[in-house]
């Protein structure tokens, strides 16, 4: 037997104000769209803002459904919208923020597993890393230079 060690590296910022102006603006847009989340079951609202290489910003918020698997996370709403409207554009950066209606979220909230897999598909397809910034309602912001930091053993088309 062999042991395999995998390390990832993230940047950590104490608050949004430490980010560059363009990323602060992207996160502000994610915060605004987070308020549009339809979250009557979880009371957990997520907003995502994507910056494309054509300069467009695509927004998404989570949309729940009484038939739980039928809902969709903010990240996938945004990424699928980008793929539908701008199929040839590359996603450069993604800002994600999450807040609970029942308690304050002060830790960075990363994308769920399904969202990681969907982001991976786009990152692999475009052959360019996607910078991912994520935070709770307030507090620290984490930055990953690529989805590979969040999902080191990605499943992709080479396995099919």
Measured CA to CA, the distance from residue 83 to residue 130 in angstroms comes to: 14
User: Any residues with CB less than 8 A from the CB of 92 and at least 6 apart, and which?
Assistant: 51, 52, 53, 128, 130, 131
Residue 138 annotated to the active site: no
Measured CA to CA, the distance from residue 75 to residue 123 in angstroms comes to: 13
User: Any residues with CB less than 8 A from the CB of 105 and at least 6 apart, and which?
Assistant: 98, 99, 136, 137, 138
Measured CA to CA, the distance from residue 123 to residue 120 in angstroms comes to: 5
Coil, helix or strand for 48? strand
Distance, CA of 138 to chain centre: 16
Q: Which of 75, 121, 123, 138 is catalytic?
A: 75
List residues with catalytic annotation.
Answer: 75
């Amino acid at each position: 037997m062999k042991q395999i060690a995998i390390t990832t590296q993230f940047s950590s910022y104490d608050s949004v104000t430490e980010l560059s102006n363009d990323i602060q603006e992207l996160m502000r847009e994610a915060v605004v769209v987070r308020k549009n989340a339809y979250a009557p079951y979880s009371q957990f609202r997520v907003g995502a803002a994507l910056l494309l290489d054509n300069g467009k910003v695509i927004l998404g918020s989570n949309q729940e459904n009484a038939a739980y698997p039928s809902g969709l996370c903010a990240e996938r709403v945004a990424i699928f919208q980008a793929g539908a409207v701008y199929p040839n554009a590359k996603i450069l950066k993604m800002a994600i923020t999450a807040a609970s209606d029942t308690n304050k979220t002060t830790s960075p909230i990363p994308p769920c597993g399904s969202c990681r897999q969907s982001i991976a598909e786009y990152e692999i397809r475009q052959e360019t890393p996607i910078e991912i910034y994520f935070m709770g309602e307030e507090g620290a912001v984490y930055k990953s230079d690529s989805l590979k930091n969040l999902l080191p053993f990605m499943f992709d088309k080479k396995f099919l």
